[in-house]
Amino acid sequence: MIQKTLNKTPEAKKQEKSTIQNESYAPRHELSPDVDLYLDNNSYVLEFALPGVDEKSIDVSVEKNILTVKGVTQSSLPEGYELYYSENASGDYKRSFRFDEQISIDEISASHKNGLLRVTLPLKAPVSRKIEVGS
Amino acid sequence: MIFKELLQDMDRAQREMFRWMDAPLGQGAAFPLISIYRNEEGLLLQADVPGVGPEQVDISIANDVVTISGKVPGYGAEKEVKDSDQSAGGEGDANAPESSFSALRRERFSGEFSRTIELPVEVDSAKAQAKVKDGVLELILPLREERKPRKVSVTGA
């Protein structure tokens, strides 16, 4: 039987303070894409489901410590056809996430394949240095 | 009394709509979600399958019933998900695999799927065409020839 996974996995519940928090869901006239969040070695990875959005219609931006993903759907009504039955809402996608200072903003990257946008947010390397003792 | 009739009408309308659909939405929503368009030539079926490429979906048609099945690849298909009692990003022992990851939030559908849809019209399955682009499957199903509307010319008596 196919089961949809619950939102918060046990690992997430154990985290007291999340490095990445959901900042906002889209307002009612926009769609909020489903998102998976992974911690992969030293990076957080967000996967956004953006079916029907081609790569050039995707906008990924970072402002202060908020990541925002927008996607404009190609018109879902095919030319010359009438709608007969629909289950999926059509519209543009938007969703934001807040992240904290552990993320190295300059190294955030994104890739796209098969309607899935993957945004990688690397954690900053821990700072360690020797401190000399002066006389 | 009137309210009860209204409910019965609504129930009947819903049953009508679901007569040719498989599992109704609500508990355990079906995947993928679909839309069906039609014109004089036939049907166009669209299904949202984000993360799925052409090689990962199978379509079969029999007796005007379409089955869409496949698998949504998991994150890093070659990797394995860490055990829940291991700390995220932790060291682990020397025998642990080099790269490992943990899932913190899962909203997307993942894994194998199969959905059966009974079509409202008779189609010519031999002429069906399918393509997958940007996570959307489009299936073109031309009407069976004898089901197409025919023009009848009117002659004078």
Q: Which of A3, A42, A47 sits opposite B75 (nearest CB)?
A: A47
Chain B CA closest to residue A71 = B134
- Integer CA distances (angstroms), A124 to A23, A41, A101, B90, in order: 21, 12, 8, 16
Chain A CB contacts of B44 under 8 Å are 78, 81
What DSSP designation does A65 have? Answer: T
pLDDT one-digit tens code per residue, A76-124: 678 899 999 998 877 899 999 999 889 999 999 999 999 999 999 999 9
Q: What is the pLDDT of residue B112?
A: 94
Distance from CA of B124 to the nearest CA of A (A): 18
Quick check: A34 and B107 in contact, CB under 8 A? yes
Question: Nearest CA to B81 among A108, A9, A122?
Answer: A9
Distance from CA of A71 to the nearest CA of B (A): 12
Inter-chain CB proximity B49 and A115 less than 8 Å: yes
- Integer CA distances (angstroms), A68 to A62, B97, B139, in order: 6, 33, 33
Could you tell me how many residues make up chain A?
Answer: 135
What DSSP designation does B89 have? Answer: T
Q: What is the pLDDT along chain B (157 residues), one digit of tens a residue?
A: 566 677 777 766 666 565 545 544 443 568 999 999 999 999 999 999 999 999 999 999 999 999 999 999 999 774 444 444 444 444 444 444 455 899 999 999 999 999 999 999 999 999 999 999 999 999 999 998 877 777 788 888 7
Q: Is the pLDDT of residue A127 over 90?
A: no
- Can you tell me the distance from the alpha carbon of B24 to that of B26, in angstroms, rounded to the nearest whole number? 7
Token pair recorded at residue B99: 């790269």
Inter-chain CB proximity B101 and A38 less than 8 Å: yes
Inter-chain CB proximity A39 and B101 less than 8 Å: yes
Name the residue with tokens 């903003």. A105
